[in-house]
Amino acid sequence: MLRVFWLLLLSTLLFTSNSAIAKMQNWKVVKVQGDAILSKPGFAPRNVELHDSFGAGQKITTAAGSTVSLVRNSEAFIISPNSEIEIPSDENTSTFTLFFQTLGTVLFSAKKKNRHHFKVQTPFAAALVKGTTFAINVSASDYQIQVFEGSVELKGHNRKDSHIVNAGAQSQVKYQISNKIKIKKVLNDEGKNPHLGNDIEKLAKTYRDKIVIGARGQSNLQKRANNLDPKGQRGKEAKDDLQAKGKSGASPDQKDISTLKISGNFNNNGKANNNSSDDKKEDRSSSNGATSSSGNSGGGNKNKNK
C-alpha cells in the first residue's frame, strides 16, 4: 500500500513539473534593427525576423550596429550590438525564467514579484531578481551589472558571498577569483527611475543612454564628456570617469567582440568565444508593440539564411 502511495505521489510530481514546462511562454520579437541570427541545435541558423518566437534551446546573436527587442507579457529585454543570449533547454518554467548571456550588453525589465523568479547566468557570475530594470555586460575578462530600479542579488562563480546591487549602482566581477567584486554608485543616478514593463520604446529611450558599462557605456560617457553644461561640471565628471575606465585600456567587449560571429558557446575555460559578423542596418518594428509570446520554440524549422 505504501509503495502504491509513493508511486502515485511521484507521478503527480512529474505531471506537475511537465505541466509547468509546457505552460512556459516564449518571448516574441517586436523590433529588429540590423542583422541578428537565431540558432538552435539541430536546426540551420537563420536571420531573426519580426514576430519570431524565442524559447527553450534557442540563441540570438546580434551583429555590429544591430539590436533585437523582445517581450513576454509585462516583461521585456533589449539585446545590444555584438551580443549573444540563450534560453537553456531546461530549468525554465511558467514561474521561473533563466537566461545564459555569453557576450555583450542586454537591458532587462523583469516583472516585480515577492520572490526570485528571473535569473541571468554568465561565465563569471549570476544575477537573481524579484523584479527590476537592469543591464548586464559580458566581455572576455569580466562581468558588469548596472541596476536602474529595484535591486539585484549578485553571486560570482566559485565565490562564497552574494551581494545586493541596488538602484543607482553598478558592479564588476573579474574573471580572476582573486579580484574582489566591486560595487559603486553610478555618476548622476540617484536610483529614482521608473519601472516601464514591456514598453520597449520607453525602455530604450529612458535607459540605453544611461548605460555606463561595456562598449555602450564607453560611448555614452564620451557623449556626456562632449556635452558640457554651462559650468562644465557634468562634462568634467564624465571625462574623469572615462579616463578612469581608460587606464586599463579599451573596454574588453569593445576590443574582443567587435568582430563577432555566430558562436557564443562556452569554451573549456568557461569563457565566451568571440568571432565576427557583418554590419547591415535595417529597422523592422512590430505594429503590435508589446504583446505576449506564444508559438513554436523551434528556432530553425524555416531556413531563411541570407
Tell me the CATH number of domain 26-283, given options 3.50.50.60, 2.60.120.1440, 1.20.1730.10, 3.40.630.10: 2.60.120.1440
DSSP β-ladder status, 162-166 and 182-185 = unpaired
Q: For the whole model, what pTM was predicted? A: 0.69
C-alpha cell at 243: 579616463
Cα separation of 306 and 304, whole Å?
A: 6
C-alpha cell at 78: 533589449
Cα separation of 165 and 149, whole Å?
A: 10
Residue 269 and residue 158 in contact, taking contact as beta carbons nearer than 8 Å? no
Full pLDDT tens readout for the chain, 306 residues: 566 555 555 555 544 444 444 456 899 999 999 999 999 999 999 999 999 999 999 999 999 999 999 999 999 999 999 999 999 988 778 788 999 999 999 999 998 887 888 999 999 899 999 889 999 999 998 999 999 999 999 988 888 888 999 999 999 998 777 788 889 999 878 878 999 999 999 999 999 999 999 876 555 555 555 654 545 555 555 555 555 555 544 444 443 433 444 443 433 343 444 443 334 444 566 544 443 333 444 444 444 444
Ranges of each domain in the chain: 26-283
